[in-house]
């Protein structure tokens, strides 16, 4: 089942999606499997036959889940919408192939691009596309740059990019169309960990600039 | 106890039940393309549904059984020959040490599962023994099986003599409930269904679509008359699932399959009902499908009857197995 709040990107709407996801993570119904928050929607996955068995008076499992979720939505308070997590710090060596292009687009120096990118915190709106790929935002309007016209065949793991008002990190090497401004030496997605992803939806992230030698020292790949 | 892969076909991987609870960090459930065949194979051997199974795709597969094992092949479209003697799918088989197994493409169908009594030795990643090829984790070293790979079983308590099929299995009648011979795939409406033009809705429900050769475990691409929305729209990324049918910018459709991404940005114009996913998984590129819209209650009823079918098989087979090897 999908709860959709429209097709707009709005931080408050996204926070409601994340709050529903968190609420279901701490308390849910018999047959619930998992939920996925996105920009302005939440996907709810459940085992239809278990839901039906546990609620024999409901005509369908869908009907029960729908009612359950409406209840959660009604009860959401402003407190649930607050973020309590402290910022996750991500070191970046700003040497991406598109750093010059992004600077040029906005008549900035590359140092100014770095200062603007590291100058604020970002929220993880959602994770998707690849395991661990966090869509974060919003970047300073002076950095917002559309995706490349034709995607690169291979974007190296750890690349930090910009697409429109979003910023993100490639957790694996993959094809991709984001404007690459730098690279992080740390593992965003580590299959050897019980919870392999450094981020969760709703987390706050801050980037800081490191030198080439620091990059080499911290390199986890 | 082990087997050696002599010919893996185009793709052979260890698959298992779905990986649950990690979609929110972009890790999809994966699992078998044909969950019915995989689960039935385990149940026919008295295994739990959690054991890994090997999923083989056409065309020709060859396996050496280095030890005697009790195994079961389930799926569609293959003929099974053990040392050149034909044996049935969907039945547990005692297989003699040193036997060579060949699976040869025959009738319609696309993949076949090999389950073994007590299960295959597989890496558990995030709660499932299935392989995640994208991040190279789980299953057999996080990768697909190659020539000369040796896959081991967990343990074996059964002595195997001559090769023979055991006296129980699934009836054709039961199988027809899952894999009906028609080209019909049942769907339910999805969030963007209403945005289709009325001509496109007609086409979706009355035309045939052909699965094209660019199809794989991530998605089945369809060829047909192009569909369109009444007003063009660019969607922001939103959750998707196995069976979600998306409309691509060129007007063609893609059905997301077991290894789909967790989120997607194309309009979702329908969802294949869960009960019909095994049947869809067994349709080969080049074959036609037709969509039929059904109600949500009907989709749920079908899902429950499929679950009951498997539950009955589980109890029945456990009894048979315990009796036989007492």
pLDDT at B325: 75
Enumerate the residues of chain B whose CB falls inside 8 A of the CB of residue A49.
303-304, 307
Q: Cβ contact (<8 Å) for A128 and B237?
A: yes
The two tokens of residue A55 are 């609620």
Q: Tell me the pairing of strands A174-176 and A41-46.
A: unpaired
Q: Which of A81, A114, A130 is the last residue of a domain?
A: A81
- A163 at the B interface (CB within 8 A)? no
Q: Which residue of A has its CA nearest to B22?
A: A34
Chain-centroid distance, C-alpha A34? 17
- Residue B62 burial (CB count, 10 A): 17
Q: Give me the number of domains chain A comprises.
A: 2
For residue A109, the distance in angstroms to the closest alpha carbon of chain B comes to 31
| Same domain membership, residue A10 and residue A92 | no
What does the alpha-carbon distance between residue B16 and residue B123 come to, in Å, rounded to a whole number? 11
The two tokens of residue B182 are 């028609």
The two tokens of residue A3 are 């709860």
> Where are the strands (E) in chain A, listed by range?
2-4, 32-37, 41-46, 88-92, 121-127, 134-137, 152-155, 159-163, 166-169, 174-176, 179-183, 204-209
Nearest CB among B27, B264, B274 relative to A131 is that of: B27
For residue B53, the distance in angstroms to the closest alpha carbon of chain A comes to 22
- As to burial, measured by CB atoms within 10 angstroms (0-12 exposed, 13-18 middle, 19+ buried), residue A84 is exposed
| Same domain membership, residue A62 and residue A147 | no
Output the tens digit of pLDDT for each of chain A's 221 residues: 888 888 888 888 999 999 999 999 999 999 999 999 999 999 999 999 999 999 999 999 999 999 999 999 998 876 666 666 789 999 999 999 999 999 999 999 999 999 999 999 999 999 999 999 999 999 999 999 999 988 999 999 999 999 999 999 999 999 999 999 999 999 999 999 999 999 999 999 999 999 999 999 999 98
| Same domain membership, residue A96 and residue A69 | no
Enumerate the residues of chain A whose CB falls inside 8 A of the CB of residue B296.
60, 62
For residue A184, the distance in angstroms to the closest alpha carbon of chain B comes to 18
- A6 at the B interface (CB within 8 A)? no
Q: What is the ipTM for the molecules in this complex?
A: 0.94
- Residue B61 burial (CB count, 10 A): 25
| Same domain membership, residue A100 and residue A49 | no
Spell A104-131 as b/e; 16+ CB within 10 A means b. Answer: ebbebebeebbebbeeeebbbbbbbbbb
| Same domain membership, residue A99 and residue A53 | no
- Cα angle A184, A186, A189 (rounded to 5 degrees) comes to 110
| Same domain membership, residue A97 and residue A75 | no
**Residue B15 confidence (pLDDT) above 80:** yes
Nearest CB among A37, A49, A189 relative to B135 is that of: A189
Q: Which helix (H) or strand (E) holds B62?
A: strand B60-65
pLDDT tens, position by position, B133-145: 999 999 999 999 9
What does the alpha-carbon distance between residue A167 and residue A122 come to, in Å, rounded to a whole number? 8
pLDDT at A8: 81
| Same domain membership, residue A120 and residue A57 | no
Whether the CB-CB separation of B267 and B246 falls below 8 Å is answered with yes
What does the alpha-carbon distance between residue A70 and residue A203 come to, in Å, rounded to a whole number? 25
The CATH number of whichever domain residue A35 belongs to comes to 3.30.1360.40
| Same domain membership, residue A144 and residue A194 | yes
- As to burial, measured by CB atoms within 10 angstroms (0-12 exposed, 13-18 middle, 19+ buried), residue A22 is middle
| DSSP assignments along B240-302, one per residue | --TTEEEE-TTS-EEEE-TT--SEE-S-EEEEE-GGGHHHHHTPPTT-EEEEEE--HHHHHHH
Q: Which residue of B has its CA nearest to A190?
A: B135
- Residue B204 burial (CB count, 10 A): 23
pLDDT at B290: 98
pLDDT at A84: 67
Helix (H, G, I), strand (E, B) or coil at A159: strand
Residues of B with CB under 8 A from a CB of A: 20-27, 125-126, 132, 134-137, 142, 191, 233, 235-241, 261-264, 274, 296-297, 300, 303-304, 307
Q: Cβ contact (<8 Å) for B237 and A39?
A: yes
Choose among A168, A136, A146: nearest CA to A101.
Answer: A146
Contacts of A199 (CB under 8 A, 6+ apart): A88, A124, A127, A132, A134, A188, A205, B25
| Same domain membership, residue A201 and residue A111 | yes
Q: Cβ contact (<8 Å) for A48 and B304?
A: yes
Q: Cβ contact (<8 Å) for A43 and B239?
A: yes
Q: Cβ contact (<8 Å) for A21 and B125?
A: no
Enumerate the residues of chain B whose CB falls inside 8 A of the CB of residue A60.
296-297, 300
CA-to-CA separations, B242 to A123, B47, B50, B115, B219, in angstroms, rounded = 28, 25, 19, 23, 9
- A37 at the B interface (CB within 8 A)? yes
The two tokens of residue B102 are 């060949």
pLDDT tens, position by position, B208-232: 999 999 999 999 999 999 999 998 7
The CATH number of whichever domain residue A210 belongs to comes to 2.40.100.10
pLDDT at A86: 83
| Same domain membership, residue A119 and residue A70 | no
Q: Which domain holds residue A205?
A: 88-218
Q: Which of A27, A50, A81 is the last residue of a domain?
A: A81
Nearest CB among A2, A39, A131 relative to B25 is that of: A131
| Same domain membership, residue A126 and residue A213 | yes
Which residue is associated with the tokens 């005692």?
A: B94
**Residue B251 confidence (pLDDT) above 70:** yes
pLDDT at A221: 86
Q: Which of A81, A108, A139 is the last residue of a domain?
A: A81
| Same domain membership, residue A157 and residue A115 | yes
Domains and CATH numbers, chain B: 2-175+307-324 (no CATH), 184-294 (2.40.100.10)
pLDDT tens, position by position, B38-90: 999 999 999 999 999 999 998 889 999 998 999 999 999 999 999 999 999 99
What does the alpha-carbon distance between residue A209 and residue B24 come to, in Å, rounded to a whole number? 28
């Amino acid at each position: 089942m999908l709860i959709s709040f429209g097709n707009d990107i709005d931080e408050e709407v996204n926070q409601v999606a994340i709050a529903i996801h968190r609420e279901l993570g701490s308390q849910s119904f018999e047959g619930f499997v998992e939920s996925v928050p996105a920009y302005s929607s939440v996907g709810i996955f459940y085992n239809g036959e278990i839901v039906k068995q546990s609620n024999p008076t409901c005509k369908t499992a869908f009907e029960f889940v729908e009612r359950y979720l409406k209840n959660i939505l009604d009860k959401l308070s402003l407190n649930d919408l607050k973020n309590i997590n402290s910022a996750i710090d991500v070191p970046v060596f700003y040497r991406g192939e598109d750093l010059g292009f992004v600077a040029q687009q906005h008549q900035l120096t590359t140092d100014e691009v770095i200062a603007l990118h590291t100058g604020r915190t970002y929220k993880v709106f959602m994770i998707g596309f690849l395991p661990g790929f966090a869509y974060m935002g919003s970047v300073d309007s002076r950095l917002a740059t559309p995706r490349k016209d034709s995607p690169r065949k291979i974007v190296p793991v750890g690349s930090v990019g910009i697409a429109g008002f979003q910023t993100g990190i490639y957790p694996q090497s993959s094809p991709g169309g984001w404007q690459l401004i730098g690279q992080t030496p740390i593992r965003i997605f580590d299959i050897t960990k019980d919870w392999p992803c450094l981020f969760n939806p709703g987390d706050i992230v801050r980037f800081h600039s490191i030198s080439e030698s620091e990059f080499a020292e911290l390199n986890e790949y | 106890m082990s087997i050696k892969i002599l010919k893996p076909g185009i793709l052979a991987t260890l698959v298992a039940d779905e990986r649950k609870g990690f979609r929110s960090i972009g890790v999809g459930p994966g699992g078998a393309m044909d969950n019915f065949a995989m689960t039935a194979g385990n149940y026919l051997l008295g295994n739990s549904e959690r054991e890994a199974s090997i999923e083989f795709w056409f065309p020709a597969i060859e396996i050496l059984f280095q030890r005697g094992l009790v195994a079961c092949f389930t799926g569609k479209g293959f003929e099974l020959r053990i040392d050149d003697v034909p044996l049935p799918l969907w039945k547990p088989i005692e297989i003699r040490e040193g036997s060579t197994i060949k699976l040869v493409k025959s009738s319609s169908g696309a993949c076949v599962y090999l389950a073994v009594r007590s299960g295959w030795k597989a890496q558990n990643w995030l709660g499932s023994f299935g392989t995640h090829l994208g991040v190279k984790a789980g299953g057999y070293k996080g990768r697909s099986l190659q020539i000369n790979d040796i896959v081991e079983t967990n343990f074996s308590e059964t002595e195997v003599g001559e090769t023979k099929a055991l006296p129980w299995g699934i009836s054709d009648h039961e199988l027809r409930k899952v894999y009906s011979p028609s080209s019909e795939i049942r769907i339910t409406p999805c969030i963007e269904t209403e945005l289709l033009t009325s001509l496109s809705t007609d086409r979706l429900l009355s035309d045939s679509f052909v699965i094209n050769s660019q199809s794989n475990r991530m998605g089945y691409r369809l060829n047909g008359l192009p569909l369109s929305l009444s007003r063009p729209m660019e969607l922001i990324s939103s959750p998707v699932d196995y069976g979600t049918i998306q409309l691509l910018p060129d007007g063609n459709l893609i059905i997301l399959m077991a290894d789909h991404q967790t989120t997607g940005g194309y309009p979702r114009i329908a969802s294949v009902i869960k009960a019909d996913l095994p049947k869809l998984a067994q349709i080969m590129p080049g074959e036609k499908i037709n969509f039929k819209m059904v109600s949500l209650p009907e989709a749920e009823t079908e899902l429950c009857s499929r679950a009951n079918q498997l539950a009955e098989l589980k109890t029945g087979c456990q009894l048979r197995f315990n009796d036989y090897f007492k």
